[in-house]
Amino acid sequence: MKIVIAGAGSVGRYMAEQLSSTGNQVTLIDSDASAVSRINVPGVTTAVGDACEIDTLAKAGLADADVVAAVTGDDEDNLVISLLAKQEFAVPRVVARVNNPNNEWMFNEMWGVDVSVSTPHLLTAMVEEAVSVGSLVRIMKFEHGKAQLAEVTLAAESPAVNSRIADLGLPRETTIVAIMRDGHVVAPQADTPLHQGDEVVVLMTGDCEAEVQRILIGAPSS
């Protein structure tokens, strides 16, 4: 795949190295020539210039890029790059980094963003996950928030403990993606029983959240 990364900070450089090592054709853009030159991976093409300018983006080859990742440390820049990538180059997938979580609401299709990634948000989710047994932890959102990946660690009093997945009566737009049990990944089958302490990873649409909560966690305790 042809991937263009805007922003050669630690995030951008790391992504360029990783994506290049998995056989992708990567171009890295930054206005700072020294930041760009710090990357020493043979496969990565670099472009020096302001990624908020159409000319720079054209030179970096956005016209036939499959993915653009706007990962500068500046939310305004990331939004402008996303909008230009979508509007001027019709890039199929635009990924943008959210630096300040207060700006996250702007990272949507209006600005050409297909997927936004917010580090503070992820950190919060991870902390919640670490401290919570028996509550629903939202890990990641897809499709502009319509679908989400969530995780529940089953407490002893969960109504789902000792029942088979097929018997749970999960809503139609919900699927159990995986079960983590004693450090192993269990591929969920219809007759897989759930145990106390299982980490159940669920993919669902937002409307199903209350129902999933009722099935896996139980009625909210009064």
Partner 1 sequence: MSVFRRRKGDSPIVEEISYPSIASLAPRAQTAVRGRVVRIVKQPAQGLPTLLVRIEDESGYATAVWSGRRSIGGLYLGRKVVIEGVPMASPTGLRFFNPAYTLLP
Q: Which residues bind partner 1 (CB under 8 A)?
A: 54, 63-64, 84, 86-90, 92, 108-112
Q: Which lies closer to partner 1 via its Cβ, residue 113 or residue 201?
A: 113
Alpha-carbon separation of residue 38 from 7, 15, 45, 93 (angstroms): 13, 14, 12, 27
Q: Which lies closer to partner 1 via its Cβ, residue 60 or residue 165?
A: 60
Q: Which lies closer to partner 1 via its Cβ, residue 87 or residue 100?
A: 87
Q: Which lies closer to partner 1 via its Cβ, residue 35 or residue 111?
A: 111
Alpha-carbon separation of residue 213 from 5, 185, 204 (angstroms): 38, 22, 11
Q: How far is the CB of 55 from partner 1 (least distance, A)?
A: 9
Torsion angle (degrees, nearest 10) of CA 44, 30, 49, 1:
40
Q: How far is the CB of 111 from partner 1 (least distance, A)?
A: 8
Q: Which lies closer to partner 1 via its Cβ, residue 108 or residue 213?
A: 108
Q: How far is the CB of 110 from partner 1 (least distance, A)?
A: 4
Q: How far is the CB of 64 from partner 1 (least distance, A)?
A: 7
Q: How far is the CB of 63 from partner 1 (least distance, A)?
A: 7
Q: Which lies closer to partner 1 via its Cβ, residue 44 or residue 98?
A: 98
Whether 42 and 33 have beta carbons less than 8 Å apart is answered as no
Q: How far is the CB of 171 from partner 1 (least distance, A)?
A: 24
| Vertex 64 angle, CA 86 and 144, to 5° | 35
82-86's contacts with Cβ under 8 Å and 24+ in sequence apart are: 82/107, 82/111, 82/112, 82/113, 83/111, 83/112, 84/52, 84/54, 84/57, 84/112, 85/4, 85/57, 85/112, 86/112
Residues contacting 141, CB < 8 A, separation 6+: 147, 148, 149
